[in-house]
Amino acid sequence: MKYVLMFADTEQFAAGLAAMDEPERERAYARVQQWFGQNADKITHHVHLLPADAATTVRLDGAEPLITDGPYVEGKEIVSGFAEIDVADLDEALRLAKSWPACPIVEIRPVAG
Amino acid sequence: MTPPTHDELARVVRDHAGRLAAALIPLVGDFTDAEDLVADAVEAALTHWPADGIPERPDAWLYTVARRRGLDRLRREHRHRRRLALVAWPAEPEPDARLRLIFTCCHPALPRAAQIALTLRVVCGLTTTQIARAFLVPESTVGQRITRAKRKIRDAGIPYRIPGPDELGSRLTEVLAVIYLLFNEGYLPTGDQPAAAHDLTDDAEFLAALLHQLMPAEPEPAGLLALIRLHRARAAARFTGDHEIVRLQQQNRALWDHTAIADAGRLIARAAALRRPGPFQLQAAIVACHAEAASWEDTDWAQIVVLYDILLHLAPSPVTRLHRAVALRYLSGPAAALAETDALAADLEHYHLLHATRAELLRDLGDHDRARLAGARALGLATNPAERRLLRRRLAWS
């Protein structure tokens, strides 16, 4: 079954990352690389997004498309990346998500069809 | 033929519904389809058995109905692969298939209310109507919860299996929490229950016993089962004839089921021999201290306080600390206990039993004005009618 893992940052996590010194940050990135390496056989595709201040949102539910700066929800939790995985079931997806070494929130969503 | 009683019907359905579901799932190949067939068969049984009597082989009766419904459905849907499977239904499922059923119903990806509704329906064979009545919610709410949960099981790929050793501990905790919540709902309902409501404590004991039987090497299911049995063993003394709560101090201990209490004590000892203490074993051991005491005065308070200390170490909780404070009152006096409750004021400000406990401690210390204030606060926060009546009586003498 295919799922998408949606990784979400919190302000606290972003602040923690910003406060790290260079070697610490290197180690944090290395842990993420290691996670991708260990699960390479299950990950079909993944993207890392630039921060939310680079986002632009278009709303199409009005008379005219409305273009605004920023992500579509003004919240404390911001999606920072996606990974599509192909695993047997939700328990296996949960096992992957639970071992994720970086941002504190992971949403697991089955891929339709 | 004497028509079967409500309890007999509930018991027979419960003994067989889960087995039927467990047998059907591998054959039909889908949890939700199998669940529909079981629900149909249970509805049919509850329609026919009160008039015709319970058949000699209820399992065969339920199988036959489920099979017929399954074939009807296939005729409409023309799914050839499944038709072949349905023709060869075996008479008996594999022995522990109900364990998979329980773990699937209590999967942490489902909301708690859905875990409870699904477990009652799939494992215990309750109908949506019975569940709605027991929880005092509209039938449509229960129906929606079950429909959504089944859709999520299918769409999200929740597996039908016993979790692996790496996750068994946390998954078992989830299952035990569901059963205990069910027990508490039946033991002290949060509202006024209709007289004919399904006895949820019966279902909770059944589930705990089933879990213990299927996982004999795990001590916590044994702990939960002992805890439930110890509470139920004292049920006859808990209420007066006119439904008023009788507090533990005043209960007539001759009304307790001392055989059941002794059995539960042995169950706790066997679980303890596995040397993996857990919250349910400790709670059961605390209740056993009360149940085995010949009188309120003979209660081993020192032992109870020690057990609370271990419980708090394993599972810190302000409510448990409040219970410990009550025990401490009889070991070290009301001033020590009151000091403990002071420390809990922030966490339990809106919990009626904190204020009820403080009312009694303040009264024991001779501070009647503050006792009355705390009692009034407790009364303002309590929702259960029987508890409110008890608090009113207690307020009268504070």
Domain of A95 in residue numbering reads as 2-110
B102 contact A CB<8A: no
Residue of B nearest to A4 (CA): B156
What are the sequence ranges of the domains in chain B? Answer: 6-86
Task: Give DSSP secondary structure letters for B211-237.
Answer: HHHH-TT-HHHHHHHHHHHHHHHTGGG
CB atoms under 10 Å from CB of B127, counted, come to: 19
Tens-of-pLDDT digits for all 398 residues of chain B? 678 888 888 899 999 999 899 888 887 878 888 899 999 999 999 999 999 999 999 999 999 999 888 877 777 766 555 554 555 555 455 566 899 999 999 999 999 999 999 999 999 999 999 899 888 889 999 999 999 999 999 999 999 988 988 889 999 999 999 999 999 888 765 555 554 456 889 999 999 999 999 999 999 999 999 999 999 999 889 888 777 888 899 999 999 999 999 999 999 999 999 999 999 999 999 999 999 999 999 999 999 999 999 999 999 999 999 999 999 999 999 999 999 999 999 999 999 999 999 999 999 999 999 999 999 999 999 888 888 888 888 766 54
Strands A2-10 and A77-86: what pairing? antiparallel
Task: Give DSSP secondary structure letters for B296-358.
Answer: STT--HHHHHHHHHHHHHHS--HHHHHHHHHHHHHHH-HHHHHHHHHHHTTTTTT-HHHHHHH
Tell me, what's the ipTM? 0.85
CATH number, residue A104: 3.30.70.1060
* B chain contacts of residue A94, beta-carbon cutoff 8 Å: 109
**B287 three-class SS:** helix
B151 contact A CB<8A: no
Contacts of B358 (CB under 8 A, 6+ apart): B338, B341, B371, B374
Tokens 């709303």 locate to: A59
Phi-psi region of B84 (alpha: psi -120 to 50; beta: other; left: phi over 0): alpha
Q: Which helix (H) or strand (E) holds B279?
A: helix B279-292
* B chain contacts of residue A91, beta-carbon cutoff 8 Å: 158-159, 161, 163, 167
Distance separating alpha carbons of residues B115 and B83, to the nearest angstrom: 30
CB atoms under 10 Å from CB of B151, counted, come to: 11
B170 contact A CB<8A: no
Distance separating alpha carbons of residues A16 and A113, to the nearest angstrom: 39
A90 contact B CB<8A: yes
Residue of A nearest to B110 (CA): A90
Residue of A nearest to B163 (CA): A91
Residue of B nearest to A110 (CA): B156
Domain count, chain A: 1
Pick B156's closest partner by Cβ from A88, A90, A95. Answer: A90
